[in-house]
Amino acid sequence: MVATLPVAPQVGASPGSSVISAAAAAVAERVSASVTLVGQRGGNGAGVVWRANGLIVTNRHVVRGDSADVVLADGRRLLGRIIARHPDRDLALLKVEADDLPAVEVGDSSTVRPGQLVLAVGHPLGFRGAVTAGVIVAAGQAATPDGPRTGDWLQADATLLPGNSGGPLVDAWGRVIGISTMVNGALSLAIPSQAVENFVARDQPSQARGYLGVNGILVPLRRADQALGFLLTEVVEGTPADRAGLIVGDVVIALGAATVTDQESLPAALLRLVPGEAIPVRVLRGGEPRAFTVVPTERA
């Protein structure tokens, strides 16, 4: 059974609120088809079908052994093999022997802003497919009794309980922008989708991805229009970045449509590069904005 948000209008409710409620219920129903139950002895959590070929993302603390029982939304029970764990974040990747699964649409967490409506789907206290709603409170940090906790979190006021761990946090369009991981007081924390996508992509068989030939570090910028940038500490000679005119000391602020907003922004954008497809790069050079066009190649 899938629990969704109530759609029946309240007495005196405006037509607009009824439309929002119905849309939220439709989003919840669609996303729930991609949410699995992940179980091991001692408890259950949630998982998200990240790839149609059987790759499922969950929290590392949900799966402590080498395998876990996975129950799909359609009721099928499968064995999930843990094929990767993130060394720092609370993430684990499972593989089940099934194809054509209903994978989620992955959103761009770098564009998330406080005030956005979000839905969290999971199995709190064993109740399958429960949905709670809230808004984004902070993106990029979490407020705690001990002060701000940084680390590229999404913080929302959607209610989470045991069993929600590993479930998706989605935006109003049903795109996954985070994976629920823990409760922080009355608020919840989610791992941004860009970090999750980066983790999943690293553990897949090699495929043709665009290569620029740069290395660098995330640095703060004292600018009202741009808080962070990616300082190039190396531009490999003869690579696409070098041929395009990028140099050490340039600060990348955007790659294509992806603006550098946190430590995952640029790595996630790099994973989406396609060899041979030109992409605009915006940088600061000596504090002045410059624009370049780079044509990625396939890394040898």
Residues designated catalytic: 61, 90, 165
Residue 164 one-letter amino acid: N
Q: Which residues, in sequence order, are CB contacts of 282 under 8 Å at separation 6+?
A: 252, 253, 254, 289, 290, 291, 292
Rounded CA separation 284/296 (Å) = 20
Residues in the chain: 300
Q: Which residue reads 């068989």 in tokens?
A: 205
Joined tokens for residue 20? 């929002």
Rounded CA separation 282/258 (Å) = 10
Residue 28: helix, strand or coil by DSSP? Answer: helix
The H-assigned helical ranges of the chain are 15-32, 193-202, 240-244, 265-271
Q: CB-based burial of residue 151 (10 Å sphere; 0-12 exposed, 13-18 middle, 19+ buried)? A: middle
Joined tokens for residue 228? 């962070």
Q: Taking a C-beta distance cutoff of 8 angstroms, is the pair 228, 260 a contact?
A: yes
Q: Taking a C-beta distance cutoff of 8 angstroms, is the pair 235, 247 a contact?
A: yes
Signed CA dihedral, 290, 216, 229, 265: sign only: positive
Rounded CA separation 223/299 (Å) = 34
Q: Taking a C-beta distance cutoff of 8 angstroms, is the pair 176, 194 a contact?
A: no
Q: Which residues, in sequence order, are CB contacts of 74 under 8 Å at separation 6+?
A: 33
